[in-house]
Amino acid sequence: MTNQEPTLLRVQDIHAYYGNIHALKGVSLEVNEKEIVALIGSNGAGKSTLLNTVSGILRSKQGSIYFEGSRIDQLSAHKIVDLGISQVPEGRKIFSRLSVIENLEMGAFVRKDRGEVAKDMEAAFELFPRLRERRQQVAGTLSGGEQQMLAIARALMARPHLLLLDEPSMGLAPVLVETIFETIERISNEGTTILLVEQNALMAFQIATRGYVIQTGSIALEDSTENLSENEMVQKLYLGIEVE
């Protein structure tokens, strides 16, 4: 497949373990600049493990990860953030006892350009007007949808080149899912590259150009989201379509 944009993230033959559990078994994938790439799979397939390995939370035992042409799989998590990768973790994981503003400030902790942080906070409030209304509110008292907005806004405060999104629609009402995905698309249109882990494959395929299917720690399929949507296995397992 020929890609117009250069490769931003390259994962090559990654093996990762949780104790004795072989969670990732030779996973390889690429994300090109300005793309939204979807990664789908069932619970326990290795989706979150892959994101955690890219972001340095989990160290791979074998293989390599390159970001903007430089190898990063041996770097600490905070150095990877500094290079331009931010992760929105599954389950939000906001700082529940801090205010909305304090959470956003935490998202910018690696930045040296403190004068620009206020501008980016204003941009976050423009992206999520509801957060502006609740900027002094303790984050743990926000609704689930508002907490997801805050988690995404906090990750954007680091000015990432690559945003790793882990199950952004989990536990949200359908109307909020629509809002979150519209916002993800807007973030992409403004120039941020996105690797999206999502169980709602139907929604993910509406905004992503390419996708990967991971099963039991290995990549089973890779294709355009248009072609994946027509794949019988994907239709049956992930799109809820009855295949005759």
pLDDT tens, residue by residue, 55-95? 999 999 999 999 999 999 999 999 999 999 999 988 778 98
Where a domain ends, among 120, 136, 159?
159
Tokens 């789908």, residue? 40
Closest Cα partner for 32 from 171, 149, 188, 147? 188
Domain extent at residue 12: 1-84+162-244
Band the pLDDT of 242: cuts 50, 70, 90.
Answer: confident
The pair phi, psi for residue 98, each rounded to 5°, is: -95, 160
pLDDT tens, residue by residue, 34-58? 999 999 999 889 999 999 999 999 9
Query: In this structure, are 69 and 111 located in the same domain?
Result: no
Band the pLDDT of 118: cuts 50, 70, 90.
Answer: confident
Query: In this structure, are 144 and 27 located in the same domain?
Result: no
Query: In this structure, are 132 and 188 located in the same domain?
Result: no
Query: In this structure, are 20 and 62 located in the same domain?
Result: yes
Q: β-pairing, 193-197 with 62-67?
A: unpaired
Query: In this structure, are 201 and 228 located in the same domain?
Result: yes
Where a domain ends, among 159, 179, 199?
159
Query: In this structure, are 244 and 173 located in the same domain?
Result: yes
Q: What is the pTM of this model?
A: 0.92
